Amino acid sequence: MLLDDPSGLNIQYVDRTGSGLVYAALLNSGNLILANSTNTILWDSFSYPTDTILPTQILRPGIELVARYSKRNYSGGRFKLKMQEDGDLVLYSTAYQADYSNTAYWRSDTKGSGYELVFNETGQVYLTALNESIIELIHFSGSSTDESYQRVVLENDGVFMQYVYPKSSNTWRPKVWTTAASKPIPGNICLELEQSLGSGPCGFNTICTLGNDQRPTCNCPPQGYVWLDPEDQTKGCRQDFAPQSCDISKPDQDKFELQEMINTDWPRSDYEMYPSQTEDWCRQSCLSDCFCAVAIYGFSNCWKKRIPLSNGKTHEAVERKALIKVRKIDSTREPAECQKKDSISKPVIIIGSTLLSGLVLLNLLLVILAFATCRRLLSRKMVSDRPSVEGVGGLRNFTFQEISEATDGFKEELGRGAFGTVYKGFVSSSFGHGGHFVAVKVLHRLTEKGDIEFKREMKAISQTNHKNLVKLQGYCNEEDHRILVYEYMSNSCLANFLFRDWKPSWHKRVEIAQGVARGLSYLHDECGTQMIHCDIKPQNVLLDDSLVAKISDFGLAKLLVTDQTRTMTELRGTRGYVAPEWFRNMAISAKVDVYSFGVLLLELICCRKNYKMATEEEPEMILVEWVSDCYHAGSLDPLVLDDEEATGDMNGVERFVRTALWCIQEDPSQRPTMKKVSLMLEGAIPVPIPPDPCSFIS
């Protein structure tokens, strides 16, 4: 038998005669073996791993895992984990399309003492010495293989993660792969992978932030940059504007401005560094320098950077500010030179001098031509004056006919909300092969300046990109039709997941809460233009195939008429989630979303709606009042009754309850920002004892 690898190279030759190959078997461990008549294993898949190891599998010296290129591309990617001959277990980035290691971004520091990486049946992944003694624990799932299926994967983004899948038949526990209790390696790849060559965890000109699943989320800078290939974000981002001219005869410095991002840096790509300077000096220096794409300012130092930018990151630990040069939105291109009139006047003179007798006829002809020209120019001007979103980067412009065909005449309705009606559709790929499902939202009751607002909001929404936001894929802006095309969320909305007969996994609810908090924090603080959602509720949080939470309908509140809402008038939002300031003629800020999130967080904790008419105990009818009473009485057990996972993590439950009570304070100034809420939920900062609110909206 001849066994080949994917490239066609021979791996193993097994003679069919004598003691050659007799059978192949896939063992319960997941190991595929080839054996002879004496049950001697001639070849096994555990000795030739790809990106995954399973319980009972061992990585011996010289063996390595290679991450796949992307989620759907299983060819060798940009990262590898190697059990080195010297005893060190090392994570490397690689020079993609070549097979050599680039930069080590994590190592076990067991050089001289390490020998093998073992994944045993108790869920432990550890390094052993030559005498088989354990010298370092790498991962621990918290359960044995009797309780769950397990795997450890070197993900395509360079994170070494352990996953578990419950074997239990309990109907209340969802059957999905979830991350194990142990921390991923490295803890924050955005901060820990900083290489002199290559793009970093994400592609060039991108910004890396750590997602709620402890894996990197890659985004383009919020204004002026778009994905080079939206289907392959590892290729990075490009400038979606003409760069500053270096032609001194045509200076265009006044057409550019600096977009500010706090706690952001591209630590490589420097070409100049100026110590002991002011921020104003740094700004002016970058604006006047045609080579400068970004200036980084921190601790009175100024760094100027050129394209491509690498190793971009945003995190509280990055105590620097990025000043990103972009073309001003209202800047225009230089007008084209007017055509000279000689080409018209010269023939007129010749004709006039040679055909004097036909002067009247010629004048009549010129009048007709002039009328036609004016009419054509007027038509063009009417078209150019019409509001449009043509050219919004990365989005597909659909005609109404295409939308109608994609939805089969708007046949299957997915839901209705304050912003419009949503239908299920199927869109063919631009290459003509295959396609994918989409959610088509038909907007209604726009403001009087709906066209202008639609154009402005479309541009803002198209520039957002975050793991916990539903991705906008296209739009229709034809005649009176205002339609948005979103990615399709197969697991519907959070309300359908949360409010049912059995309680979903506490671990999954924690992930959802953290994901929604990160998405709101991004909308409030990390977008080029701050977005206030105004209607955070379980129906506006959608779940994808992996039950990752994604916020929908963000950025659309400005498009609605003043009284547009399902259950309220003269305000935005849904009863039970609306912040008190809506009723008090107070200024509205991002803190209204914080309040709504606080109510949503309590619903996630207790797996019930904010208002519950059918309850035996009257104090339990209003969730926010009941939780507050339980907390101040020092008894949180009733909130998670019959929830084994949650009762096993009462410290986490208390942290979430405290955070929620801070969010629903009646005084907006007492509510934390969503960025701080996110840190509270993750346990990165302590949650102080919340004050006792005076009352709650019932």
Residues annotated as catalytic are 535
Give the distance, in angstroms, between the CA of residue 72 and the centroid of all CA atoms in the same chain. Answer: 17
Partner residues linked to 549 by β-bridges: 543
Phi-psi region of 322 (alpha: psi -120 to 50; beta: other; left: phi over 0): beta
User: Shortest CA distance to 157 belongs to which of 79, 235, 91?
Assistant: 79
Query: Computed from CA positions of residues 513, 516, 522, 525, in that sequence, does the dihedral angle turn out positive or negative?
Result: negative
CA distance 50 to 314: 31
Q: What token pair was written down for 189? A: 């790849």
Burial track 662-698 (b if 16+ CB lie within 10 A, e otherwise):
bbbbbebeebbebbbbbbbbbeeeebeebeebeebbe
CA distance 589 to 678: 18
CA distance 121 to 194: 35
With tokens 């007799």, the residue in question is: 22
Instruction: Report the DSSP pairing between strands 396-397 and 472-478.
Output: parallel
233: helix, coil or strand? Answer: helix
Asked whether 584 and 570 are in contact (CB, 8 A), the reply is: no
CA distance 468 to 395: 19
Q: What token pair was written down for 621? A: 């009818």
Taking CA atoms, 563 is separated from 21, 22, 445, 552, 554, in Å, by 76, 76, 10, 20, 18
DSSP string for residues in 505-551? PHHHHHHHHHHHHHHHHIIIIISSS----S--SGGGEEE-TT--EEE
| Number of residues that this document lists for the chain | 698
First to last CA, the chain: 74
Per DSSP, helices labelled H in 420-522 are 450-462, 494-498, 506-521
Burial track 541-551 (b if 16+ CB lie within 10 A, e otherwise):
bbbeeebbbbb
User: Shortest CA distance to 190 belongs to which of 218, 216, 153?
Assistant: 216
Please give, one letter per residue, the 3-state secondary structure of 2-68: EEECCCCCEEEECCCCCCCEEEEEECCCCCEEEEECCCCEEEEHHHCCCCEECCCCEECCCCEEEEE
Asked whether 671 and 594 are in contact (CB, 8 A), the reply is: yes
Q: What is the DSSP letter of 697?
A: -
- CB-CB neighbours of 325 under 10 Å: 23
User: Shortest CA distance to 448 belongs to which of 387, 371, 372, 494?
Assistant: 387
Query: Computed from CA positions of residues 640, 645, 646, 647, in that sequence, does the dihedral angle turn out positive or negative?
Result: positive
Asked whether 128 and 115 are in contact (CB, 8 A), the reply is: yes
Q: What token pair was written down for 307? A: 């394209």
Question: How big is the CA angle at 72 (ends 66 and 73), to the nearest 5 degrees?
Answer: 50
DSSP string for residues in 287-306? HT-TT-SEEEEETTEEEEE-
